[in-house]
Chains A and B, each alone.
Chain A
Amino acid sequence: MVNVEEIRGYAAGLLEKGEVKSVLGFRRGSASAFAEPCTLIEASDAASLVWDPTCLNNLALYLVKDRKQQAVSKTPDTRPVGIVAKGCDSRAIGVLLQENYFKREDVVVIGVSCEGTGVVDPRKLSAKLKGRTASRVTFDGADGINVSVYGDGTETVIPAREVLADRCLECRAATPTLNDVVFGETVEARGYNEPFHAAKEAEKVSEDERWANWEHHFDRCLRCFACRAVCPMCYCPECVVDSTTFVVTLGTSAEEKANRIRWCERSANTSESAVYHLTRAIHLAGRCIDCGECERVCPVNIPLRLLNTKLEKEAFEMFEYQAGHDIEQASLLSSFRDEDPNSFIR
C-alpha cells in the first residue's frame, strides 16, 4: 500500500531544499470525494497531498502549461518542476521528453504505483451509487474499492473491476517506468482485461455498423475541444484542424494571415467533426499513452479512447511500438526499420 505520508515527505523535502520550484500533485477536492490537481509552492503545503483512486487527472498537462508560460515570461523560472505521476502520467512525460518539449532535468518525477488497481471511472461509480454522492473512495488493499456515501455515512465495498476506468482494466504498466523515485509496490499487469480489450471488442462489429456508430458520436460532438484542451500531447501552438489558436507573431506575414488554411471548418456538423476527431487520432498515433483524459472530460460521452487505443494497438502489433516507454527511441511517425511491414518503404 502506498503511504501518502511518504509522498508528502518527499514533496516537502524537494521544496524545502529548493530543488524544485513547485510540485504538481493532488489534493482533496472542495466538492464530492474526487481529488483535484494542485500546485505546491511551500513545503508546508505538502500536508494537503492525497493519494487514492480518485486521482484521475494526468498532471503532465500542467508541465506543458508551465513550459508555455515560461516561454513567454520575461523572467522565466527555469528550476525543475516536481510531479506526482501514475504509470500513464509517466509515459506522457516520456513522450514529451522524446519530443524534446523539455529536458529530463527540468522535471522530477515522483512516481506512484497504482499497485494492481487504478483510478475509478466517475460515470461507473455514479451508476453504482444510483445517484448518491461518494464522500470518500479508497483502496481496500485487495480487489475492492471502499466507498463512503455522503450523507448517510454508509460504507460499501465495490469490486474494483466494476468501477475502475477502462484504461486501468487494460493497463500494462501500472508502475511509472520513468521516475526519480517510486512509492508503492511494482505491479505490471492487472489481470483484469487483456491489453487493447475495448478496441478489440469494438473491431468485432461490422464496418458499416462501426461507421454508423461513429457517425452518431460525431454528430453529437459539440466541438467544445475539451478533449484537446486536456490532452498533454495536444501542445501545438497552432492546431491544424482549427484556426482559433492561429498564432500571430512579429514574423507572421500578411500573406500568411490571409492564406491561413482551414482544413476543417468550425461548424459542429458530422462531417467537420469527423475530420477533427480523425485528424486528432492520427496525430496521436504512436504518441497517445492512454491516460483516458479525453474520454473522461467529454461532456457528451463520446468514446474517444477507442479511437486512440485502436491506433496504439496497430502501432504495437505492427511495429512493437509503445508510446512513452523509451525516451531514447525515435518517434513512431518519424522512423522506420528494415523489418517494418510493407516493403515499399525500403
Chain B
Amino acid sequence: MPAPDDWTPRSDAYFASPLAQGTPGKQCGLAATGDYQPSLRSPWLAAAATVDVKKVARELAKDDGVVFSEDYVYMCSDPGQTAVIDAIKDNDLNGMVISCCSPTLHEKTFRDASELGDLNAFQCEIANIREQCAWVHSDMEVATEKALKITRASVRRVQHNQALEPIGVPVTRRALVVGGGIAGIQAALDMTDAGLDVILVEKQATIGGNMLKLSETFPTLDCSQCILSPKMVSVSKNAKITLMTESEVESISGFVGNFKVKIKKKAEFVDPELCKLCDDCTPVCPVAVPNEYDVGLTNRRAIYIPFAQAIPASFTLDEEACLGLDPVVCGKCEEVCDVGAIDYDKKPTVTEEEVGAIIVATGFDLYGMEHMGEFGGGRYPDVLDGLQFERLCSASGATEGHIMRPSDHKVPKEIVFIQCSGSRDPENHCAYCSKICCMYTAKHATLYKHHVPDGQAYIFYIDIRSGGKGYEEFVQRSMENDGVIYLRGRVSRVYEKDGKLKVMGVDTLAGRNVEIDADMVVLAQAMEPSKGTAEIAKILKIGRDKDGFLAEAHPKLKPVESVTAGIYLAGAAQGPKDIPETVSQAGAAASKVIALLSKDQLAHSPTVAKVRDPYCTGCEMCVDACPYDAIALVDGKASVNEILCEGCGSCVGVCVRAAIDVKNVTQLQIHEMISAIMA
C-alpha cells in the first residue's frame, strides 16, 4: 500500500523499541486504522470520511512502546488480515490495537487474526473510532484529534492486558421452548429431529396458540386446524418432548449452555392419564364463563376441554371459575366422573429443569377492542375483531361456520372491514404496522363472499401492503372475483342507529364522505406482544423494543438471537409476522440451538471479575448488584463464579473500596486510558 509522501514507515522503530532491548514487560501496539478513506463512495463510509487515518497512524508511530503503526483501506479484508498477521510475526508484537469500527462487529475478526499470528487473542483490543468519533463529527481536525486520543488510550490499555484463555464450560443438551403456538411447536419439533430433548412450556390448557383459532389461512385458504393439528399430535407423540401445559417459567439462573429454570405448573385437578374424554362432567357444572378459544363468542364451563383436538387431550378445571374447589360447595363433576380423574386437593407444582438453550415464542394478542371507542369496539356486539371473525367463519366455531350477527343471529348483508385499526397511529395507538392485517382482511372479505354470495363487503384501508408470495394476486382476486369494494380512507366513527351500524368514513380517491349502513363491522386490530411478555422478558433478562416486542440482538445479522447468550426468539413475540415467517423464524432459532448444543464445551469469555481480597470488606454490595448471581461471600470475602460472570462490571461500579476488577478492564487500565485522553 502506498505510504504518504511525508511519512516513511518507521522500520527503525522496531530496533529502538524497549521490547527489542529485552524488556519483556513493555508492550508494543499496532495502530492499524482501516476503512476510513475519504475517497470511498459508500454512504456510511462517507460519514466516516472525517478522520485523517494516515495522520493517526503517523502520530501513533512516534509514541512510546509503539513499534509498528500503519493504515490500510480494508483492514478486515483478507489481505488486510494477512498484513496484520505478518506485522505481529515480523515485529514480535506482544500487544495490538486495531483502530476501526465497533468491537461488536470486528473484535472477533481481529482476535482470530491475532491468534493466527501467535499473539494471545486477549492481547488484541479494538479502538472504536467510528460511532462516537467519525460519525458524530464533521470537522476533520477535531475528529482526527479525538481518534488519536481514543487509539492512544487503547494502546495504554493493551500495555496492561493479560494473556487469557477462554473458560471451557460443559453443555446441557436439552432445550426449553416457552410458548406452544405454531412457533414453539415448530422449533420444538425441529430440535427433536436433531436429537435434542425439549421441554415445551405453554400457559394455556392446550398448545396451538392463535393459529388454532383461525379458519383458513391466506393466500391459499388452507384450513388452519388441518395443517396445525398434525404438528400438535407429533408433539404429543414425540418421546423427546416433555409437554407442560398450564405452566409458566417462574425464574431462571445459570448461563448459556447451563440454565436452571423453575417452571410452575398449575394444579392438575383432572388427571390427563385417567380422563377418557366422556364429557359427563360439563353438563353438571353450574358455572359458565366466556370461552377463550372462541374469543368470547361462546361460553364454556369451569371444567372443560378447550376444543376437540386439544393437546394434551384431557378435560381441565379452571381454578378461577370453579366454585371454589370445595366439595361442600359444589363437587358435582367429581361425583359424576366414574374413573375418578378429578381431585380437588391437587396443588401447583414447581419443577426445576436444566437446559442448555431457550427459545422464547410467546406470541401475540390483539390490541384490545376497548381502545377503539370511536369504532364502537367493546360496545356493540356486532363490532368484532379479526380473531372473532375467524371464529365465525370456522367450522369448529360458535356458529359452525355460518356467518351471523352475534346480536340477533341474522346473516349480515352489508359488512365493513376497517384496516389499520390501532396500527400506524402513533398519536393514539400503536405506531407500527401490524403487517398481517391487509392480507387477513382480504381473506375475511373473500370468505364472507363465499359464505354470503349476495352480501356486500367494504374495506377501508390506508394502503395495501401485500408483499409476499402470491399475496398481491390474492388481494386482486378478492376485488375482481369477489367484488369486494376497497375504499381508500379512514373511518371517523361507527355508531348504532335503527339496528344498523352507521359507518362514517371518507373515500379519499373519490374525494367524498362515505356513510354505510352496515350489519357488521370487523376491526383489523393491531398485534401486540402477548400479555406477560414484559414479565417473561424480565425473568429471562432479555430486552424489549419500544413497542414491547422482544428485542433481537442485531436487526440484520442476529434476527433470532436475544441479547442474552443462549436465549433465542421465534414468532410474533419478536414482532408482527404471518405464519410462514413465524415458521421460518422458529426453524432458524431451532438451528441456532442445535448448533450451540452440538459442541461438548462452550467457550466462556475469560474477561471476568476478579476480587482483590485484601481490599474486600465483605459488604455484599457486589452480590446485590450482580445481575448474573455470579458473586457470593466465601469466608467474608466476595468470590466470583467465573462461569456465571459475564464481565459486565456492575460490581466494579458499586464497590466503593475498589476491591473488584474485570480482567483486562482493570482500574489501572481505566486510569491509564483516562490519563492518555487527558494528556
The answer to whether A283 and B656 touch (CB under 8 A), given A261-B667, A334-B621, is: yes
A151 contacts the other chain (CB 8 A):
no
Nearest-Cβ distance from residue A286 to partner chain B, whole angstroms: 10
Asked if A237 and B617 sit within 8 Å, CB to CB, the answer is yes
B620 contacts the other chain (CB 8 A):
yes
Q: From B622, which residue of chain A is reached at the shortest CB distance?
A: A334
Q: Of residues A251, A252, A263, A334, which shows the largest number of chain B Cβ atoms within 10 Å of its Cβ?
A: A334
Give chain B residues whose Cβ lies under 8 Å from the Cβ of A283.
656
Interface string of A302-346 (1 = CB under 8 A from B): 000000000000000000000000000011011100000000000
Chain A residues numbered 256-290 whose CB sits less than 8 Å from any CB in chain B: 256, 259, 261, 263, 283, 287
Q: From B537, which residue of chain A is reached at the shortest CB distance?
A: A346
Asked if A240 and B658 sit within 8 Å, CB to CB, the answer is yes
Give chain B residues whose Cβ lies under 8 Å from the Cβ of A237.
614-615, 617, 657
Nearest-Cβ distance from residue B357 to partner chain A, whole angstroms: 25
The answer to whether A247 and B624 touch (CB under 8 A), given A237-B657, A261-B671, A333-B654, is: no
Give chain B residues whose Cβ lies under 8 Å from the Cβ of A331.
619, 621, 624, 654
What is the bound-complex CA distance between A335 and B621, given in angstroms?
8
Asked if B617 and A235 sit within 8 Å, CB to CB, the answer is yes
Q: From B620, which residue of chain A is reached at the shortest CB distance?
A: A100
Asked if B617 and A99 sit within 8 Å, CB to CB, the answer is yes
Give chain B residues whose Cβ lies under 8 Å from the Cβ of A235.
617
Interface string of A144-184 (1 = CB under 8 A from B): 00000000000000000000000000000000000000000
Nearest-Cβ distance from residue A119 to partner chain B, whole angstroms: 28
Asked if A236 and B656 sit within 8 Å, CB to CB, the answer is yes
The answer to whether A247 and B615 touch (CB under 8 A), given A259-B160, A261-B667, A261-B668, is: yes
What is the bound-complex CA distance between A259 and B669, given in angstroms?
10
What is the bound-complex CA distance between A240 and B160, given in angstroms?
20
Asked if B160 and A101 sit within 8 Å, CB to CB, the answer is no
Interface residue tally of chain B, by bracket? Answer: 20 to 34
The answer to whether A236 and B615 touch (CB under 8 A), given A333-B654, A335-B624, is: yes
Give chain B residues whose Cβ lies under 8 Å from the Cβ of A240.
656-658
Nearest-Cβ distance from residue B622 to partner chain A, whole angstroms: 7
What is the bound-complex CA distance between A247 and B618, given in angstroms?
16
Nearest-Cβ distance from residue B373 to partner chain A, whole angstroms: 28
The answer to whether A251 and B614 touch (CB under 8 A), given A331-B621, A334-B622, A335-B625, is: yes
Give chain A residues whose Cβ lies under 8 Å from the Cβ of B625.
333-335
What is the bound-complex CA distance between A251 and B625, given in angstroms?
26
Q: From B544, which residue of chain A is reached at the shortest CB distance?
A: A346
Asked if B617 and A330 sit within 8 Å, CB to CB, the answer is no
Nearest-Cβ distance from residue A338 to partner chain B, whole angstroms: 8
What is the bound-complex CA distance between A251 and B624, given in angstroms?
26
Q: Of residues B160, B621, B636, B656, which shows the largest number of chain A Cβ atoms within 10 Å of its Cβ?
A: B656
Q: From A248, which residue of chain B is reached at the shortest CB distance?
A: B614
Interface string of B142-166 (1 = CB under 8 A from A): 0000000000000000001000000
The 8 closest A-B pairs by CB, nearest first: A99-B619, A334-B621, A334-B624, A334-B625, A236-B657, A283-B656, A334-B654, A330-B624
Between A and B, 5 residue pairs with Cβ closer than 8 Å are A235-B617, A238-B614, A240-B657, A263-B671, A334-B621
Query: A residues touching B (Cβ–Cβ < 8 Å)?
Result: 99-101, 235-238, 240, 247, 249, 251-252, 256, 259, 261, 263, 283, 287, 330-331, 333-335
